[in-house]
């Protein structure tokens, strides 16, 4: 007999959202158990006997979690639906009959590593700053970057009244003829358009941005627009167990 579990944990296991987001949905009155609205946290359910609804749709427990690594192309938005009918990253994933969502975001003009899954707890562990999952980017900048500017990025820069945490930064290439620089920058945070804003804070415009790695998971063997399943070793490496 399966033990009772907290409602938010069940929603996360079913891929509805991360546990923290599921708590918000409960408090907003979007979740029902056996036909009754539940708005208080701490409620436990029996997954074998209780029927849970989210937004008036029955929640189905998934028997298998899916973890996909996509090498996102430029021009796709990182969402499941887009109000402007732009192409989304889900348009690149074919043959999956379960609901998956992107883990975090890459802006429309950034390419590279993006994980999609139906595991809400995994999403929380990857995106929450307390777990300090690194994200590595390769940025092509206008102009020849200086060592002083690199040190500023390493130490932390102010963006929108927020001081970024120390980052790992190294110069990959400078091209005086084309007047560009290419740097690799690794951060733990995931603020909106953070790398672009960090570079702007030192007076450099980003002309191309690619996320090469999430933790130790790289897209170097994936062509742009291709995807593959993560293996169990990669999954354990990312979430630290």
- d(C-alpha 30, C-alpha 37), whole Å: 8
- d(C-alpha 194, C-alpha 9), whole Å: 30
pLDDT at position 11 is 87
- d(C-alpha 177, C-alpha 194), whole Å: 28
User: What's this model's pTM, rounded to 2 decimal places?
Assistant: 0.74
Pairing of strands 110-117, 206-214: parallel
Is 119 among the catalytic positions? Answer: no
pLDDT at position 176 is 96
The position carrying tokens 């063997």 is 221
Tell me the sheet residues that pair with 102. Answer: 116
pLDDT at position 230 is 86
Residuewise pLDDT in 10s, the chain (241 residues): 457 889 998 888 777 877 888 899 999 999 999 989 999 998 999 887 889 999 988 886 655 688 999 999 999 999 888 788 899 999 999 878 788 999 988 999 999 999 999 888 888 888 777 777 899 999 999 999 999 999 999 999 999 888 999 999 999 999 999 999 999 999 988 788 999 999 999 999 999 999 999 988 999 999 999 999 888 778 877 765 4
CA geometry: angle 76, 189, 208, nearest 5 deg? 40
Largest CA distance in the chain: 70
pLDDT at position 241 is 45
pLDDT at position 63 is 54
46, 91, 107, 175: which one is catalytic? 107
Identify the H or E element spanning 11: helix 7-13
């Amino acid at each position: 007999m399966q033990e009772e579990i907290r409602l938010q944990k069940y929603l996360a296991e079913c891929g509805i959202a991360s546990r923290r987001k599921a708590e918000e949905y409960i408090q907003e009155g979007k979740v029902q158990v056996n036909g009754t609205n539940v708005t208080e946290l701490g409620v436990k359910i029996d997954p074998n006997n209780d029927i849970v609804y989210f937004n008036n749709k029955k929640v189905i427990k998934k028997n298998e979690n899916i973890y996909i690594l996509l090498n996102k192309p430029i021009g796709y938005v990182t969402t499941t639906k887009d109000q402007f009918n732009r192409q989304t990253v889900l348009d690149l994933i074919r043959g999956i009959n379960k609901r998956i969502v992107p883990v975090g975001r890459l802006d429309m003009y950034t390419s590279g590593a993006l994980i999609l899954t139906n595991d809400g707890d995994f999403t929380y562990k990857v995106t929450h700053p307390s777990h300090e999952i690194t994200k590595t980017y390769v940025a092509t900048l206008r102009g020849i970057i200086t060592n002083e500017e690199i040190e500023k990025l390493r130490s932390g820069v102010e963006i929108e009244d927020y001081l970024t945490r120390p980052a790992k930064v190294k110069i990959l290439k400078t091209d005086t003829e084309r007047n560009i620089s290419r740097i690799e920058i690794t951060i733990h945070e995931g603020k909106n358009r953070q790398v672009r804003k960090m570079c702007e804070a030192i007076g450099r415009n980003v002309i191309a941005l690619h996320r090469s790695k999430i933790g130790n998971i790289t897209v170097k063997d994936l062509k742009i627009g291709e995807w593959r399943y993560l293996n169990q070793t990669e999954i354990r490496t990312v979430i630290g167990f």
